[in-house]
Structure 1
Amino acid sequence: MITPRRRAVLLAASLLLTGCGGVAATPEHRPATTAAGTPTTPPGSPAPAISVQAAPQRIPGLGTKTRAAVSEDAAQVVVVTGRGRDSPHSTVVLYRRTGAGWQAGETWPAHNALRGWSDHHMGGDLRSPIGVYGLTDAGGLLRDPGTRLSYDRGVGFTSPGTGFEGEPLQGSFDYVIAIDYNREPGTSPLDWTRPLGAERGGGVWLHVDHGGPTHGCVSIAEQHMKELLLALDPALHPVVVMGDHASLAR
């Protein structure tokens, strides 16, 4: 017969030998670990499978028509994807072509024009132009951060006033990259040559975000603008592909 005292001793011993799930935590049942505390594979066992995501052979989200507009020699593609046809919100991703496929960079939040996007941008319509455009020239109020693009620095990049939501525009043009829509590539972003005519607008840039919609440009955070300026390489023929997600999927 087991006395109450003997029963208490046996219960205490069993609790010392078991874990939360009631499985004996003896050395024989503990998984082998490395010095860092991670489990190791027992000798003779097959190595665990490692999931490796292959780079896509096509840039995600771009349809046949959009892909056809990207030149074969373009090895850097900045994809600006609008949330909707009439939305001023979008995202920016830099893709680089590698031997294994298109390698994506980080996804950055962005603003585009107040009224969204247009296939036939006109000056003053407050829509960003949909399409594929070269990225050849940069500039800004601040000194060149080290970009390989042609860079024009000057007071012409001063941005006074306020935006559509009352936010200050100061600093918006500290760094800009000209989008080759209705402009002459190889010139300063401040050059006002308009091959399609003045009525088709122009001066469409990637620039520093001021916290609200733009007139037609695409804006991202200052740190991301600096990263983009340092990443773009004229030898890789960079282009921007921009539009709302439905238009890019065509």
Structure 2
Amino acid sequence: MIKHSSRVALLAASLLLTGCGGGAAATTNSSATSHPPAPAPEVSLDVAPRQLPGLGPRTRAEIPRETRQIVLVTGHGRDSSQSTVVLYERTGTGWQAGARWPAHNALRGWTDHHRAGDLRSPVGVYTLTDAGGLLRDPGTRLPYDRSIGFNAPGTGFEGEPLTGSFDYVIAIDYNRKPGTSPLDWTRPLGAGRGGGIWLHVDHDGPTHGCVSLDRAHMKDLLRALDPDAHPVVVMGDRASLAR
């Protein structure tokens, strides 16, 4: 478990200002000349990303070769705060899709150049290395920081209470230092490029920049992600992901 100093509560308050707070079987030939059946061709994992729906060549090129888990977040429109999340896992025959989960993203939709306070979620491919929350670890294999710093006071854009939004979070490695708590304030691109972009519990409204899922789905995702599978999130509106 990652341990932190008492400044985590201050860092969490700052986050609220800048982020969210089987292959085919072989067949035999029935001709007069008998030959042993040819072995089924091996499926190359190098071509697996082309089987992911909705992703264009530029997006696929950003996915690390070693990645075997992808959280695909597809925004309903460039300026929409609604999106859909699917966890894909790579097998010997390609990418296997999990359930489709409704989600929220930032109030104003998506951007290719996220800035602090723009109320848009950053488009791109980002690693998922660290998790945490106000509540105890639900059984994830990611490093998990349980801290009171994940308190979420106040209300959202539609007047909904934010309480419980950070009960479970997964840090999206946008403008942060991987291998640290989601509460870590390191910003490699500078504070002006924002940060604190997380997957977290949905509060029934748009976010500042994060992606939010139903509480049960967040727990399912935390339990499913495996650091050995080098998980990433691929996120953006449909048109951006198709490039």
Give me the TM-score of the superposition, normalised by structure 2: 0.80
Q: Hey, what's the Cα distance between the residues in 1 that align with 2:142 and 2:77?
A: 31
What SS does structure 2 have at the residue aligned with 1:124? Answer: coil
Q: Distance in 2 between matches of 1:78 and 1:58?
A: 14
1:72 corresponds to: 65
Give the corresponding residue for 1:203.
196
Which of 173, 189, 193 is equivalent to 2:186? 193
| Equivalent of 2:241 in 240, 245, 248 | 248
Counterpart in 2 of 1:125? 118
Task: Answer with 1 or 2: which has the greater Rg.
Answer: 1
Residue 235, structure 1, aligned to residue 233, structure 2: no
Does the residue aligned with 2:163 lie in a helix, a strand or coil? coil
Q: Are the equivalent residues in 1 in contact too, given 2:49–2:60 (CA < 8 A)?
A: no
Cα distance in 2, alignment partners of residues 225 and 91 from structure 1: 13
User: Does structure 1 residue 149 correspond to structure 2 residue 142?
Assistant: yes
Per the TM alignment, residue 63 of structure 1 is displaced from its structure 2 partner at its CA by 0.4
AA aligned to 2:87 is L
Confirm or deny that 1:175 pairs with 2:168: yes
Q: CA deviation at 1:57?
A: 5.4
Q: Which residue identity does 2:201 align to in structure 1?
A: V
C-alpha separation between the residues in 2 aligned to 1:75 and 1:177? 17
The answer to whether the 8 Å contact 1:57/1:102 transfers is: no
Q: Deviating runs (4+, > 4 A) in structure 1?
A: none
Q: 1:222 aligns to what? A: 215
* Residues 1:64 and 1:214: Cα distance change in structure 2 (over 3 Å): same
Is 2:152 the partner of 1:159? Answer: yes
What code does the residue aligned with 1:160 have? P
Query: Aligned residue for 2:102?
Result: 109
Q: Supply the distance in 2 between the matched residues of 1:90 and 1:112 (Cα, whole angstroms).
A: 7
- 1:73-122: per-residue Cα shift (whole Å, max 9, x none)? 00000000000000000000000000011000000000000000000000
Question: Partner letter of residue 185 of structure 1?
Answer: P
Number of residues paired by the alignment?
196
CA distance in 2, matches of 1:231, 1:244: 24
Secondary structure of the equivalent of 1:65? helix
Residue from 80, 83, 93 that aligns with 1:87 = 80
Distance 1:219 1:67 in 2: 24
Counting aligned pairs with the same residue, the percent is 77
Q: CA deviation at 1:58?
A: 1.5
TM-score by length of 1: 0.77
Separation (CA, whole Å) in 1 of partners of 2:88 and 2:139: 20
Q: Once the two structures are superposed, what CA deviation does each residue of 1:14-49 show, in whole Å capped at 9, x if it has no partner?
A: xxxxxxxxxxxxxxxxxxxxxxxxxxxxxxxxxxxx
Q: Give, as a single letter, the amino acid of the residue that structure 2 aligns with 1:243.
A: G
- Residue identity matched to 2:168: Y
| Preserved CA contact (<8 Å) 1:139 1:176 | yes
Distance in 2 separating the partners of 1:135 and 1:56: 18
Q: How far apart, in 1, do the equivalents of 2:148 and 2:187 lie?
A: 22
In 1, the alpha carbon distance for the partners of 2:115 and 2:91 equals 36
Residue of structure 2 in register with 1:11 after alignment? none
Higher relative contact order (Cα pairs below 8 Å, separated by 6+ residues): 2
Two-structure CA RMSD over aligned residues (Å): 1.0
